[in-house]
Structure 1
């Protein structure tokens, strides 16, 4: 009889205050009539979004202003102003703020045609309402997402005014208050620009799709299938964490929430089998963070990337899949070596859900994910693909009696999706300020040119600068905010140096995401440590070590974009994929100090050197690096382990 991996999950989650780690989870908790009214408002938000997507009858400005209006009003209602605010009831002050922003939204919805006609000759009331709107968006984002992105956006606004007084490549002619305000809130170059447009269409639909997967039990099926498939192997529970986080993290939209949701059962399971608390939390944090770079959704950023660089969505998935798979391969290698080193076995097979009966009885639950990928690859638009995927997800549980769920449970996906999109829409609206000021001042090109001069045109120095910039800018911000900030500020550095646009954007996005497990901020690692009751900083250090592949792979495809099939095909990428895997085996063995047995310091250093040599896109260094790694493996297997008996 299979072990019920979910029976203690709710208890674990109740003991973890996620709001102390992740601002986006700091909801107010209402009861009674207040809860009913909030549920009605959230459901109305989702119904409007679905109706707009299905009918496609509203102009984009109407959809975007409505999306922003719902999200900001809900942000003031749902999120407390401070950590000391009572989270059990509404605040009159917050309701007034929500009502004021609703009035601002209504003003622009009612007058949107007149605003188009008087573009460039806006009235004083237009400017005042737009200014209020900008301030309300910033204040709401401070509550929901946190100070980092608000500070960055505020800096960009200030930059629009002080440009004439700055030296060098930062200098520009300067802009009036009226020009900045109207550009940011009225035109489609600012708050209601492309980031919010993507949030109001693709991102919402995929968040709703993810909510349907959860409410219909499909997400639970993925976890049980991963547990059954790998739970018996050496380090099985850790490998379960890797698989489940790869499957669920791409849709969850948050490294932190994914760490807590899947970690609520994988971390206690790892600790029970002998893993140290820090290592158990670090494995889950590293794997959950990787979910944000795993196609097809990539934590909602995939749609922003495709829109920003103008590539078809299926094409983006093709390019992003190889580095994502290599990332999880690297984590798997590290977990395997650590498990062998610590003598940790998998779970007994009689405590695991049998795989084939599970596939036989619930295998049809994989159809929604298969359907959505099929529709996208068949030429359907992203919107239509998502809508069909939602329909399949809502219908598929009723094919078998064993997967039947009450229809009212599926309907709860409506408020759940709206609740999740609030943080994304708020972040996208604030990110629109950054994008708007960059387009107004031309700062992106200026930064690229300035950094190019600073590093003297050296690609390796440029990559290191972009990496550090992305790690710093990615600390403590959501996935969508992360991509917009890093791609706006850091990517121009690489594009200026000749790195292809897509490779530049992926490079910066990857390092921005890895900030979630890189100390000192390391939010995902802190979330895992809250469950494991481990040292947060030490957990972050171990998570960074486990995810070492994430620090290597971006350099590989930046040096040679053919690795991600840019200007090349899969067969040209295959040798680089093989060398990357060999390199990660070498680095993993060197960092853990274990292969088939213990490895002393001299051989460990050599293996790490050999692994890093495989990063450089050169046949000679590849041969030397691979020779070092295979030579050490052969030497230990033939001569050292037989003598020590530690095989």
Structure 2
């Protein structure tokens, strides 16, 4: 080995060791604070960002000469800045917003580091959006009309974003530091024990004999992992690497395979009990109990997955995709017997949450239970190297989320500093002019736009400030308004032009991005309809009598079937374009259980339309035979 190779090997060796030390420190810090008690919010967020940013800089280094040295300098400076931000918090109370000149410089450097570190892991889109918001704060006084602001100097903006609870180390990053990392870690450790493979095997044993069995397995295994994960895109990368090839193998088109995985993974963010950690955040913001939020979210989430599952089944029938032969499938009861203990951590998580334990303590308990189960069920997997791999996966999963959250802090800080949130809410109220439906449409568009490129939790934080107040003022309940924006914040990850989950799935499937995006929008159609329905008819949120809720749920399930038929174009027979267009409003009427006559009309019309298609096809077959 020549001198250059020896030098390169040594360099990689110290980098690898440093990465292992950082990921071990990251996991240890969060497990300690989850079990013993979290630090003050600014300290919790600061330590979290110091460790995550160091990991990003070491794993995504600058590529030119001396790039590593520059990265090390950035790490050292950032560690000091996060430390300094912690130690001056109490002093800031007595200073009443007065900053020293060097603190202004510190603030500017902290902003620049956040932008650069985030750029390396999530690309240019969100950093550019953050810079636009900063520009608005700096130059908004030169505008005219509603968006005109008072004059803010950089010496006012930067320290505010550096030290306040609305800025870099504020609520958005705290979500990542308090909740999301623990659930990402829970997911990676659960997968390390073999639970991920078990869930897939279980899904296959249950659904394999149906048409498109691998796709159904992908849906429900991705749902299980997606509700724990804080990012739809991250879940696509985690589970899609083995579900997408299986779907392609049995006959699904690449674009449809990618779309199924993207829609299933993103839906995990709306599926109780964890909802990608947003349920806990929503509880803190709204003051509504976690259990109420989780229960209210159940029926809409079930309808979302029912439409997806039905759409996949109809696609398989339409495209003549065969079922998996029985002899190639694992026996359900044997599979369940071999790994039923893997359900215990999930049961413990739900039980602790519903008993009133904090999300952090509940996640900690679930992680401990996972480790115990891992040693009982599959001791061979519980090796040091596998632990390190699981910690790396957790760090990889949290890196883009934390980066997006810290930039969301910039956006949130500017919104609060300039009063932009009130202005946007005012615009929505002004255009809606008291019409709730118009307000909801505007809220949907705003949510899809502002949610681009953000993990669901960060998107929800911003939308809860910008959009939810306007929807509530128009007459929606607090619960329905916040669930409404959550849905569209989650769906923004599959909605073009910035559809991170769709892009990730298309890459794995080797499919055209836009075809995958169109297929994803079809499969996720219920997600775009249900939020409007539950704002007007809260029976789907378990508000009302038992009879009302039951009727609403049953008619909505029928609506899911009709909607899937309309979008896929098949229901026992190929449906014409005219019939598909007519079935769409019928499905919407079936979702609207109040007044009941709408559901009755929708059911009758859809039956007539589908019956007419069968009659026409039968006559055509008879004529051709003659």
TM-score (norm 2): 0.90
Q: Which runs of 5+ in 1 are unaligned?
A: 1-29
What is the 5 A alignment of 1:300-449? 300-400=277-377, 404-408=380-384, 411-412=387-388, 413-449=390-426
Q: CA deviation at 1:377?
A: 0.7
Determine whether 1:536 maps to 2:517.
Answer: no
Determine whether 1:177 maps to 2:154.
Answer: yes
- 1:127–1:392 Cα change, 3 Å: same
What is the alpha-carbon distance in structure 2 between the residues aligned to residue 55 and residue 463 of structure 1? Answer: 43
- 1:141–1:172 Cα change, 3 Å: same
Do the aligned partners of 2:183 and 2:229 also contact (CA within 8 Å) in 1? no
Corresponding position of 1:296: 273
What is the alpha-carbon distance in structure 1 between the residues aligned to residue 362 and residue 437 of structure 2? Answer: 40
Corresponding position of 2:82: 105
What is the alpha-carbon distance in structure 2 between the residues aligned to residue 253 and residue 105 of structure 1? Answer: 24
SS where residue 324 of structure 2 aligns? coil
What is the 5 A alignment of 1:219-618? 219-400=196-377, 404-408=380-384, 411-412=387-388, 413-565=390-542, 567-568=543-544, 571-616=547-592, 617-618=594-595
Q: Which runs of 5+ in 2 are unaligned?
A: 1-10
The 10-residue stretch of structure 1 (626-635 or 61-70) with the greater mean CA deviation from structure 2: 626-635
What is the alpha-carbon distance in structure 1 between the residues aligned to residue 577 and residue 243 of structure 2? Answer: 32
Q: CA deviation at 1:410?
A: 6.0
SS where residue 253 of structure 1 aligns? coil
Do the aligned partners of 2:231 and 2:401 also contact (CA within 8 Å) in 1? no
What is the alpha-carbon distance in structure 2 between the residues aligned to residue 455 and residue 595 of structure 1? Answer: 39
Q: CA deviation at 1:476?
A: 3.0
Do the aligned partners of 1:294 and 1:324 also contact (CA within 8 Å) in 2? yes
Corresponding position of 1:22: none
Query: CA deviation digits over 1:114-137, x for unaligned, max 9?
Result: 334334233223332223212221
SS where residue 228 of structure 2 aligns? helix
- 1:328–1:147 Cα change, 3 Å: same
- 1:49–1:284 Cα change, 3 Å: closer
- 1:122–1:525 Cα change, 3 Å: closer
Corresponding position of 2:24: 43
Corresponding position of 1:60: 41
Q: CA deviation at 1:389?
A: 0.8
SS where residue 252 of structure 1 aligns? coil
SS where residue 492 of structure 2 aligns? helix
Find 1:153's aligned residue among 108, 112, 130.
Answer: 130
How many equivalent residue pairs? 611
The 10-residue stretch of structure 1 (365-374 or 40-49) with the greater mean CA deviation from structure 2: 40-49
The 10-residue stretch of structure 1 (262-271 or 155-164) with the greater mean CA deviation from structure 2: 155-164
What is the alpha-carbon distance in structure 1 between the residues aligned to residue 501 and residue 358 of structure 2? Answer: 33
- 1:424–1:259 Cα change, 3 Å: closer
Do the aligned partners of 1:596 and 1:641 also contact (CA within 8 Å) in 2? no
Do the aligned partners of 1:339 and 1:345 also contact (CA within 8 Å) in 2? yes
Q: CA deviation at 1:526?
A: 2.9
- 1:434–1:601 Cα change, 3 Å: closer
Do the aligned partners of 2:15 and 2:58 also contact (CA within 8 Å) in 1? no
- 1:276–1:414 Cα change, 3 Å: closer
Do the aligned partners of 2:375 and 2:382 also contact (CA within 8 Å) in 1? no
SS where residue 516 of structure 1 aligns? coil
